[in-house]
Every structure is written in C-alpha cells, then in structure tokens.
Amino acid sequence: MALIQISEPGQSTKPHERKLAVGIDLGTTNSLVATVRSGQTTTLANENGEHLLPSVVYYAKDKTRLVGSEAKQYKITDPLNTISSVKRYMGRSLEDIKAKESPLHYDFIQTNSTVPRIKTQAGEVSAIEVSAEILSVLKKRAELSLGDELSGVVITVPAYFDDAQRQATKDAGRLAGLNVLRLINEPTAAAVAYGLDKASDGVIAVYDLGGGTFDISILRVTQGVFEVLATAGDSALGGDDFDYVIASWIQQQLELGDDIDKSLRNQIIHAACQAKQTLTTERLASINIASTTLELSREQLNNLIDPLIKKTLMPCRRALRDAQVELEEIKAVVMVGGSTRILRVRDKVGEYFDQPPMVDINPDTVVAIGAAIQADVLVGNKADSDLLLLDVVPLSLGLETMGNLVEKIIPRNTTIPATRAQDFTTYKDGQTAMSIHVVQGERELVPDCRSLGRFSLKGIPPLVAGSARIRVTFEVDADGLLHVSAREETTGIESGIEVKPSYGLTDSEIEKMLLDSMEHADEDIAARMLHEQQVEADRVLEALAAALDDDGDMLSAEERQSIDEAAGNLAKLKTGNDDRAIKQAMQALDRVAEVFVSRRMDSNIRKAMAGHNVDEFNA
C-alpha cells in the first residue's frame, strides 16, 4: 500500500502553528521580556501589569529568594543580602571588581576558581546564579503569558562585552532552563526595533547608555542587512555612576565622610536616583535625607554629570575612526537605555553628532523588542525574513609564536560568525608536541596582550624542524564565543579548546589595550622585528650546531675557525637590541658556511644514489 504524504519534509503537521520565542533584555537596572504576537511586538507584563522587572534579588534567611520589586524594597534595610546591578560583575574577577568599586557594595569571597562569590545569609552566590534568578522569573512570566513552553530565547548583551562576559550571560540562561538561541548586541537589537532595516540604506550610530554599561555602535544597513562596522564603549559606566556622583554631592553637603554604613549609603544613592529622575521633567529636585532637606537644580546636575557624558563621547570618536566613517555620513543616531532620558545626555549627543537623536521608542523597551524580532526569525516563524545581523569581534584574537610574538588570526572588527585558519610548523628537530597559547589584544608582544587559554597538540611526527604542518583554526560563533583547534595534517591528530575564561576585561583594560596599540605602534613594530630576528638567529645557530656535530669533519681547521667566529659573533649580537646587526651577522654566517652547506648536500646526494644509476630516477 502506498504512503500518503501529509506534510513537507521538516514541516509540522500544523503548518499554522507558531513556535514560542522571546527576546530578553537582561539589564543592569531593569530587565524585560518581549515577544511577537499576531505580527506585533509587545513586552510582557506580570500579574500586576508591570512590564519592567527590577534586576534585584533578595536572599532571605530561610533561603527563599525574592526577585524584582519585592526584592528592591530590601535595598535600604538589608543591602548586603539584596543584590542589584549584578550585570556589572558578570564575567569579572575579584580583582576587577575591587578596582572599580571602593568600597565594595557586597561581601565578596574568593573561591578556588577565579569566579568570585557573594556572601549572603542564604549562602554564597555568583553573579551567574543571581542573573539566572532574574531570567527564571522572566521565563515564567513569558510561559504564563503565552500559555506554553518556550522554544528559544535571544538575550541581549552590551556590544563591548568580552568573551568571558558573554559566556557568563549564556551560562546564566542555561542555568535558568532557557534554550539560548543567540546573544545579540543591545545596539543592534535597538536598530532592529526602530525598523532601520526597512529604511533606506546608510550608516547609523546607536548610543546605548544603560544602568551600568555604555556602548556605541556604528552600523551600516544595506538592503536589510545590519553590519556592525565598529563598536566601542565602557562596560562599567552607566546610570549607576550618575547616581554615585549625585550621592557624593549629597554626602559633601551633609558633611559626611566615606566611612558611612552601607544602609545610609544606600539611602543616599536611592535619593540621588530619585532626584536624577525628577530633574528629567522638573528644574529643581528636593532631597530628604538624614532629617535634612537639600535642593538640587538641573544646572547643578549638569555640572556633576558632564564629565561622565564626556567620557561616553571618547568611545564615539574611536568607533567612528575604527569604522572609517566621518560624522557627516551618520544618517541617524538612535538613543537606547534608561539613562538617555536625561536631557543633558540627549543635548550633548545631539551636539556631538550635529543632529537630533532618535528618541521615539521607550528607551527601556527598545532593546527587548529588537531581541524578540530576532528570536521570532531564529525559531523559524519568519522563514522568508531577510533580516540579517552581522556583528564584529571587539578585540583581535591570535596566538603566541616563538619569541613572545603575537600572530593575529582574527583582527578586531572582523564580522562574525567568522572562521580563520593559518599554518604553522615545528621549531626544533624531532619536536613531537606543541603548546598553543591563545591571546586577545592589539599589541605585538604576548606580555602586552591578554591570555585567553592554552592547550597542547601531542603526537606530531618527529620530523626535521620546519617539516611538520600544523593548521590552527579560530572559529567565532554568532554569540562572539571562540573555539580554537589545531590539526597536524599528515597524521590527522587534532586538539582544541573552547575559550571560556572565568573573568573578563575591565573597562580600563579594554580602553588601555586600544590606546596602547596606537601610542606604541612604532615601538611595537620595532620590537617585533627585533624578536623575529632573534628567533631566526636561534634557529640558525641550533641548526648549525647539529650539522657540525654530524659532519664537522668535512671542514678544515681554518674553515671551522671561520664558521665558529661568525657563529660566535651572531650569538653575541642576538642578545642585543639591533635587529639590523643581527640580520647582517646571519648573512655573514651564511656566506662563511656556504662551502660547508654545499659539501653536506653533495654528500647526502651521493648517499642517496649509492647502488643506483641515473636511469632509475628518470624512469
């Protein structure tokens, strides 16, 4: 009996059935979940009609956890057990956190791993676990609103999140039981939400100032394709910092020192945040704290926050320079993040880009809406969609070669996903293993870059130096996560590493890497040339020593003396700082050893042909 086809291959028996997908904006201050329903993108509310979920988790003595508004009320009364702004700690080491926060807002504990944990009355927790609590609440909200389990989610991250911070975010999603389809940059999601993919082609800038992070992205839109030309930013600068400078002003007015208790400090920060929000619509804000009433004007606020706004414009200049785009080429400036509600921010950004920024969509919801649109595409609900997001790697990825040199495999601002391969070989005769050190940064020498991970390739055939062929492949996926593999081509043996570092770069380290690469460009090139000549000199001397051990009797006493003198001169010069002198010494050694090389070659040819005639080789 013949079979009856009831659906096309790979299609559901209910072709009208949609897969449920959501976009999540995991924010520093607030988080949000959105979805596409009946062709419309909407944010999802809880049972009280609240769309924004404060990114706050309270850990009670009985080990229960409160998330959102319920937790936020404990920030003043029990600050040590109320974790907020945890996004600032994602993928960071304790040293990173201490460098940015003084004093520390929580009791951090350094564990055996490089992931710090926060001490609470309910036990120790990591930033990943706190974020997972927030994501779990959003997941439950989405499933109650949509009536079924989710097929997948897209989570947004700051464009300047490094590999460690992205991996931490993905791990938090998995811990919350989510199928994380993709991590996408917040500025890119905002551009999607504004429908700029459907507008005329051109270059746009997305200025994203959230509660704890700042990003600037320069994107080119071409027939619905988003290509991130360059990104820059500060992963530890946002609305929280505006609150802190206002809080410092309040402390000065009250003549309080820095050693106030955490409860009072949190009251002051809360009052500072309220004053900042009031001054968005009013010209004067009253601050009631410690039985005292203070007044803060909008002009005073502007003076306090101007240095922070100026700090955001520096990455804007760098991103434009990296993208090789002039200011007048920018077609639109999109404002994203709750902190862009501050009128002074809008004024200064409009002044810098010489055009009024786009502020039509609620800056709190725009990122989640863009993520929801992308999630809807990725689960297959819009198979014919031409929406394509092309992000970039923020810093160059490479590996260490002999002489502490960095060989860049994937340059910064390369569009991802990306795959690059390069061939390497062995340094010494009989070498059977190779250590591969993966690094990130813009400098020419390994100590000036950041180490991402190491792994070994073993089982290389013991061949003459330079004969083995090892192909090293770098793969960066759509989430910006890196996988490195190495394969010896003759044997097929392979090894690799999924680069999942336990902590990320501080904002100052990222900025320093980029600035140092420009400031020390000439110095780095000179250093690289010197190291390359030193490595080559070592190789030449080592090969010569081995040849002399095997066939030194081919030389007369005078010839051997000339070679030894030239080799000694090279050995002496290679420890110096003159790459030209080293090169000249190698050339001199080559000339002196030319007769020796010729005799060895003739000898080897005679040995190879012993017992054979020329006709055999011509057959």
Residues with catalytic function: 25, 87, 186, 208
Terminal Cα distance for the chain, rounded:
64
Whether 349 and 357 have beta carbons less than 8 Å apart is answered as: yes
Of residues 232, 87, 230, the one with CA closest to residue 172: 87
Of residues 128, 181, 187, the one with CA closest to residue 160: 187
Measured distance CA(190)–CA(350) in Å, rounded: 18
Whether 88 and 65 have beta carbons less than 8 Å apart is answered as: no
**Side-chain-side CA neighbours of residue 460 (13 Å):** 29
Q: Residue 74: which H helix or E strand, with range?
A: helix 74-77
Token output for 82: 């109320």
Which residues fall within 8 angstroms of residue 186, CB to CB, at 6 or more apart?
Answer: 25, 156, 157, 158, 159, 208, 210, 215, 336, 337, 367
Give per-residue burial for 100-137: e unless 16+ CB within 10 Å, then b: beeeebbebeeeeeebbbbebebeebbbbbbbbbbbbb
Of residues 385, 400, 479, the one with CA closest to residue 435: 400
Does 501 sit behind a cis peptide bond, omega within 30 degrees of 0 on the bond before it?
no
Token output for 422: 């390069």
Which residues fall within 8 angstroms of residue 18, CB to CB, at 6 or more apart?
Answer: 381
Measured distance CA(586)–CA(601) in Å, rounded: 20
Phi and psi, residue 96, nearest 5°: -60, -45
Strand order in the sheet with 65-67: 65-67, 56-59, 82-84
